[in-house]
């Protein structure tokens, strides 16, 4: 007989994500997750078998949200607006909480030696999906003609920049500084005239 779970899985996974995002993989224990979710540790083990599986499910929820928010941001009539909105989504994600938790993808990647191949594959997959999404958005004629680079190269440069932006957030904890850096990146990708055009 299969036991019915006595908790809301979506709520549990959201709380699991909060813990991993705040503490990181290595510093998080099943006891931490049990306390945060208000589900007994034995019940978590019974339902999910391991910390690894819980992390993977939580990361999948995070990835879905990131991709949806990024897709919406990139659906813009100009390259400048698409990039401005995309960078703003990234900055808000890193700095919205008190204290700011930073970029979950980058924080997870830093622990790549500990998280295991399955979890690391999810991080790679999310970064690759974002890069493809950006390249596709910038490939539209009206956006592509504003770029100094091909859409593929611009997308790669944007992904590298956002990883660096995540590090700068950890160093400075200043959203204003991050927005200044994003504006500079837009100038490099679009040129001064295009990056400031409304």
> What pLDDT score does 197 carry?
56
Round to whole Å and give the CA distance between 4 and 31: 22
Average pLDDT, the chain: 92
Q: Biggest alpha carbon distance in the chain?
A: 67
pLDDT interval class at 3 (50, 70, 90): very low
With a pLDDT cut of 70, the percent of the chain lying above it is 93
SS (H, E, C) 143-171: HHCCCCCCHHHHHHHHHHHHHHHHHHHHH
CATH architecture assigned to 59-196: Orthogonal Bundle (1.10)
pLDDT at 4: 46
78-126 pLDDT per residue, tens: 999 999 999 999 999 999 988 899 999 999 999 988 888 988 999 999 9
Can you point out the beta strands (E) in 7-155?
none
Count Cβ atoms within 10 A of the Cβ of residue 18 and give its class: 0-12 exposed, 13-18 middle, 19 or more buried.
middle
Q: Does position 24 have pLDDT exceeding 90, yes or no?
A: yes
Query: Picking from 56-65, 96-105, 157-166, which range would have the lowest pLDDT averaged per residue?
Result: 96-105
pLDDT at 7 over 90: no
- Structure tokens given for 83: 């990039």
List own/partner pairs for 45-53 with CB under 8 A and 24 or more apart: 46/3, 47/5, 52/115, 52/116, 52/118, 52/119
Tell me which DSSP letter residue 111 carries: T
**Could you tell me the pLDDT band of residue 2, with boundaries at 50, 70 and 90?**
very low
Whether the pTM exceeds 0.85: the reply is yes
Report, as an integer, the average pLDDT of 64-85. Answer: 97
Q: At 173, is the secondary structure helix, strand, or coil? A: coil
Task: Output 196 or 166, whichever has higher pLDDT.
Answer: 166
């Amino acid at each position: 007989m299969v036991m019915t779970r006595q908790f809301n899985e979506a709520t549990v996974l959201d709380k699991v994500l909060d813990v991993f995002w705040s503490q990181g993989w290595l510093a998080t224990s099943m006891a931490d997750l049990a306390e945060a979710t208000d589900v007994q540790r034995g019940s978590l083990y019974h339902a999910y078998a391991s910390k690894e599986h819980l992390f993977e499910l939580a990361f999948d929820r995070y990835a879905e949200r990131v991709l949806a928010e990024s897709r919406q941001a990139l659906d813009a009539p100009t390259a400048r607006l698409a990039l401005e909105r995309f960078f703003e989504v990234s900055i808000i994600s890193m700095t919205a909480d008190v204290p700011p938790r930073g970029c979950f993808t980058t924080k997870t990647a830093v622990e790549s030696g500990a998280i295991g191949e399955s979890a690391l594959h999810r991080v790679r997959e999310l970064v690759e999906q974002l890069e493809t999404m950006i390249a596709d958005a910038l490939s539209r004629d009206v956006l592509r003609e504003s770029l100094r680079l091909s859409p593929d190269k611009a997308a790669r440069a944007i992904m590298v920049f956002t990883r660096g932006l995540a590090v700068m957030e950890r160093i400075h904890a200043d959203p204003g500084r991050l927005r200044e850096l994003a504006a500079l990146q837009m100038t490099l990708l679009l040129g001064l005239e295009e990056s400031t055009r409304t």
